[in-house]
Amino acid sequence: MSVDYEAITASDPLPAGALAVNESVAIGLRPLYEYLLSLNSPKSRVSMLSAIKIALAQIGFMPENFDWRNLRENVITAIIAKLSLTYAPATINNILAALKGVAPCLG
């Protein structure tokens, strides 16, 4: 599946109805889209998308193929363990904030 992240991160503010989370968005990507679209600036969307990509890469996934319903404590613990081998605590906190942002969108 090809995802147009540039469209999500490009405009500020997003035009009304742009990238509305509807049936055309894969169910698995809806929480991510909802979170990114809730951010106020393109820079924030780019930053948080990057953090999410880094987090998921630690467990062998990309946003397109991760089932967000599986974002549980054990998955987050595994991500933190792998991040701690490479990243500073402040960077890890930023990455975790991005994951925390997606969590409320899981509904």
Q: Whole-prediction pTM value?
A: 0.78
Question: Other CB atoms closer than 10 Å to residue 66's CB: what's the count?
Answer: 21
CA–CA gap between residue 30 and residue 106 (Å, rounded): 8
Asked if the bond preceding 13 is cis, omega within 30° of 0, the reply is yes
Max Cα-Cα span within the chain: 42
Are 73 and 37 a contacting pair, CB within 8 Å?
Answer: no
pLDDT digits (tens, 9 = 90+) for 38-91: 998 889 999 999 999 999 999 999 988 888 888 889 999 999 999 999 999 999
